[in-house]
Amino acid sequence: MRLKSTCPSARRHFGFTLIELLVVIAIIAILAAILFPVFAKAREKARQTTCLSNTKQLGNTIMMYDQDYDEKMPIGVEWNTWDFWTLRIQPYMKSWDVMYCPSGNGVRLPKSWDLPQYRWWGNWEGFVQYGFNVCYMNRAEGDCSNMQIDGNAFGPPITLANIKQPAATVLLAEVGQDPLDDFPDNLGTSFVYPPGGFTASDVCTYGDWGPLPDLWYGQSGSTMTTKLGFFRPRHTEGGNVTFADGHSKFMRPGQLAAGTDWNINKNAGDINIIDRSQYLWDLE
């Protein structure tokens, strides 16, 4: 008969040693450090794709509006009523949510916000996160002679026939404003101002109403990351842009500023258009 061994060396151990546990934890930590940024990029890519869909929908919405109004662009904002282009195209949209970028942190101006010193802020429909290229879509002559006619704060709305290269002319772009005492970061605006627009001779903008830096804050063209008008590159140093033919794509600030001498350290009033053949904002 065989006797059962009582030798300690013959016993089986089923637990982990402290060293083994530390090795496993270290491996998990390394994998997490590698994968978390990947997951974050994947989430941001998904938000960027949703945002791109928003810009595409807005482009289609404006195209539908144009067809119902003799191929004429909507008015950017009516001076007396603060009736923004966003309200004019509203019947063609399913939801206001399409006006806000998923990477914009859900920042929206409350409908009830009606500060005495800034009464017009109560028009919350004007603070969206996609801006209209109002300087050229509602083009005012360079001498400002046709600005503020028939209630329009800018120039008269153009027709599609005025746009020579629709696939290469900016219609909308992502927008935002820097945080101030009364402005949360990423709060939007209705308009996106073209780089070089304030110094261009062929178009009159808010920048022509008074010398920099005495303009209303937004018109100085300063944003926290690019100083490129109101353009806000929310997604991996770029943002989504819709063109006048309705298509949308992701672009970086330098690409949007093609044909100008823009750089990140320049203020809007110092940027000049140097090559119209590359410029993406005018009607040529």
User: Does residue 269 carry a pLDDT above 60?
Assistant: yes
Reduced DSSP (H G I as helix, E B as strand, rest coil) percent helix, strand, coil of the chain, to 5 = 35, 10, 55
Res 215: pLDDT: 37
Structural tokens at position 233:
């590159």
pLDDT band at 154 (very low <50, low <70, confident <90, very high): confident
**Residues 84 and 45 sit within 8 Å (Cβ to Cβ):** no
Query: Which of 30-44, 102-116, 186-200, 268-282 has maximum average pLDDT?
Result: 268-282
Query: What pLDDT, in 10s, does the model give residues 199-215?
Result: 888 988 765 543 333 33
The whole-chain average pLDDT of the chain stands at 80
Structural tokens at position 140:
């005012």
Q: Is 13 within the bounds of a domain?
A: no
Residue with the larger pLDDT of the pair 132 and 154: 132
Q: Is 158 within the bounds of a domain?
A: yes
Closest to 193 (Cα-Cα) out of 214, 216, 162: 216
Closest to 124 (Cα-Cα) out of 138, 110, 136, 137: 110
Q: Is 10 within the bounds of a domain?
A: no
User: Does residue 21 carry a pLDDT above 60?
Assistant: yes
Query: What pLDDT, in 10s, does the model give residues 256-267?
Result: 999 999 887 777
| CA separation for the pair 252, 15 (Å, rounded) | 55
| CA separation for the pair 136, 267 (Å, rounded) | 20
Res 17: pLDDT: 78
- pTM of the prediction? 0.79
Residue with the larger pLDDT of the pair 176 and 208: 176
**Residues 174 and 165 sit within 8 Å (Cβ to Cβ):** no
User: Does residue 162 carry a pLDDT above 90?
Assistant: yes
Query: What pLDDT, in 10s, does the model give residues 52-110?
Result: 999 999 999 999 999 999 999 999 988 777 788 999 999 998 888 999 999 987 777 66
Q: Domain of 95?
A: 19-270
User: Does residue 6 carry a pLDDT above 50?
Assistant: yes
Res 221: pLDDT: 41
User: Does residue 227 carry a pLDDT above 70?
Assistant: no
Residue with the larger pLDDT of the pair 36 and 66: 66
**Residues 199 and 271 sit within 8 Å (Cβ to Cβ):** yes
Sign, Cα dihedral of 108, 111, 112, 117: positive
- What is the DSSP secondary structure assignment for residue 171, as one 8-state letter? E
The Cα-based distances of 256 to 131, 133, 148, 178, 277 in angstroms read 14, 12, 28, 20, 13
Q: How many domains does the chain have?
A: 1
Strand partners, 97: none
Q: Is 237 within the bounds of a domain?
A: yes
User: Does residue 121 carry a pLDDT above 80?
Assistant: no
Res 231: pLDDT: 86
